[in-house]
Every structure is written in structure tokens, then in C-alpha cells.
Amino acid sequence: MMKMNKVLLSVAAVGMVGALAACGNSASSNQTVKVGVLQLIDQQALNAANKGFKEQLAKDGFKGSKVKFDNLNAQGDQGNLSSMSARLKSDKNTVKLAIATPAAQALLKADNKTPMVFTAVTDPKSAGLMSDPKKPDKNATGVTDMVDVKGQIDFTHQLFPKAKTIGLLYNAAEENSVVQIKIARQEIAKLGLKAVVKTAATTNDVQQAAETLASQADAIYIPTDNTAAAAMPTIGKVSAAKKVPVVTADATMVKLAGVATVGINYEDLGKQTAKLAVKIIKGKKVSDLAVQAPAKATLVTNSKRMAQFGVTKAQAEKAAKAVE
């Protein structure tokens, strides 16, 4: 009987150790979850992703005293990204959120011990955030903002069939944009059209680049580029003055300067990312959470711009349907 009691006690002890170990991988129900947020730059698409992320966390119960955010914005400065990443490492966060590719790269370089989720990252493998998006191996996962570039170039061609030269504007230092521009140039060539490319290293360079591009192109396509997105009002003014239409990669940019797009909604992207963060907070391993693509793309139009360039809602819907 004594032997049996010892066996039972041993089994119980093992069970308790296992339970405690499991608790060590997740946040306690009474523990305040700390979330360190690093955003590349202040622009509407990234702001929307940030907003969506926090709204979804609140919906999942992480609000009020149950969550504490440390919000940092690098304002597009690489030096800020480095110093802010170091600060977030020292803050001992439960999970980190990186908004845009450079922010994710900086956070991972500073700290690969704290789980990280990212949003608004186009190609996490090319950015060095993991070896395989299906099986993250560097303690980082998230939701990409990789749009259907081929479909968007086809959409542009459908909307403006007389356009023979398509202008492309982006920041060559942004890995996410480089990937998209490469695809865009290939697809423009397949359509028998000409591509003209201009780059802008900062928002201060956008106006001159856009004006030069508008003088050489019949229509302009803007990918999910953070520098261009931050300067969309400027691009909109150039588009109106030069009478050259702009097609953008996401809904936010359309509202500021574009005619239309079949693109993504960054607030939805942030919400989708938050759902991954919640799984991590509750104990899920990052390596078991594959990188996700945007849940959906929708047709978004700008009625003012469509009227300016003679595009009807019916034409936009037809063009969108043609590239589905």
C-alpha cells in the first residue's frame, strides 16, 4: 500500500510540473500583457494596421488593465529603428508588433527571444525574417500585405487601355517595394507596354519624382510602398495637375490620390495579425503559426478621381471582375 501511495504521489508531482511548465508558455489570466509596438512611419495605411491590431486585441479581451502598449514610431529613420528596437528589448514585452518590413528587420536584429508578429510586410523570407513562411524559424510570424501585383497591373490596363507607358514610383531601399516593382515591370512588358520607373528615398523626394514620372507616363501605378504612401496627398496633386491617373495597391492610398484598386484594407490586416498575437499570448509556439496572406482584396474607388479621368463605377467593376 505504501508503494502504491508513493507511485500516486510521483505521478501527481509529474502532473503538477507539467501544468506549471505549460503555464510558463502563456500569460496568466491575471497578468498584464505587455505589447511593444514599432511602426516604421506615420502614414495612414500603417496607422490603420495599428488601429485594427488594437481593436482586435480588445475584442479578444485584452483591454484596460489587461494590456499595456509601448508605442514607438521611427518616422522613417533607420537610427530610430535601431534605438527603439533596443528599448523594446529591454522592456521585456510579452509579444512585439512590427509594422512594416524595416521595423520587423530592426526588431528581429535587436531581439529574437521575444515573440514577434508583423504586419504590412510584403515578403518575409526575402526580408530575412524566416527561412520558410510555412514554418517560421526565427521567432517571428505575421500577415503579409503582398497584393496581386499582376492582377493590379491588368486592372490598370483594363481601366486605361489607351495608356502605353505605365509609371512606377517607389523607394528602392524598401525590400517590400523592390519585390513588387520587379513583378510589375514583368507584367507590363507581357502586355506589350513600356514601364518608366522613378525612385524616392524620402517623402521630400516624392514630388519631383512624381512630376518627372507624370511627364513621361500615361498612367502611374504605386505599390504598397511606405514612402509613397506617406506622400499620397502630394502624388494626388501632381496627378490632378498633370492629368495622369494613379492606380494604387491599397484602399487607403486610393482615398488620398488614386482612381481605384482591387487591394487590401490595412485595418483588416491589423486585425488578422492580432489574432496571431492572441494565440502566442495564450501559449502557442511561433514556429507553429504559419505566415498568413491577406484574407481578402476588394474593389475600392475614388469617385472624384474617377470623374476626373472619365472612369465609371461600372467600368471599374468590370475591370475588377476581369482580373479575379
Q: What is the tens place of the pLDDT at every residue in 133-183?
A: 999 999 999 999 998 999 999 999 999 999 999 999 999 999 889 999 999
Q: Are 252 and 201 contained in the same domain?
A: yes
**Amino acid of residue 86:** A
Domain identity same for 276 and 127: yes
Is it the case that residue 15 has pLDDT exceeding 80? no
- Greatest Cα pair distance, the chain, in angstroms, is 93
183 and 278 both lie in a single domain: no
Q: If you average pLDDT over residues 223-233, what whole number do you get?
A: 93
Please report, for the domain that includes residue 130, its CATH number: 3.40.50.2300
Residue range(s) defining the domain that contains residue 228: 149-263+298-322
Grid cell digits, residue 101: 518590413
pLDDT digit string, tens, across residues 93-123: 999 999 999 999 999 999 999 999 999 999 9
Q: What is the pLDDT of residues 235-268, one digit of tens each?
A: 999 999 999 999 999 888 898 899 999 988 999 9
- 157-193 exposure pattern, b = at least 16 Cβ within 10 A, e = fewer: bbbbeebeebbbbbbeebbbbbbbbebbbebbeeeeb
Nearest Cα residue to 38 out of 121, 91, 100? 100
Closest by Cα among 190, 210, 188, 187 to 198:
210
* 168 contacts 220 by C-beta, under 8 angstroms: yes
What does pTM read for this prediction?
0.80
The CB-side HSE value for 140 (13 A sphere, CA atoms) comes to 29
Angle at 155 between CA 171 and CA 293, to 5 degrees: 65
Q: How much of the chain, in percent, has pLDDT values that exceed 90?
A: 81
Average pLDDT, the chain: 90
Q: Work out the burial of residue 58: count CB atoms within 10 Å of its CB; fewer than 13 is exposed, 13-18 middle, 19 or more buried.
A: middle
H helix runs in the chain, sequence order: 2-24, 44-59, 78-90, 101-110, 149-159, 175-190, 206-214, 226-230, 232-242, 251-256, 266-281, 303-308, 313-322
E strand or H helix at 262? strand 260-263
Task: Report pLDDT for 244.
Answer: 98
Q: Say if residue 80 is in the same domain as residue 224.
A: no
CB neighbours of residue 101 within 10 Å: 28
- Residue 156 shares a structural domain with residue 183: yes
| 233 falls within a domain | yes
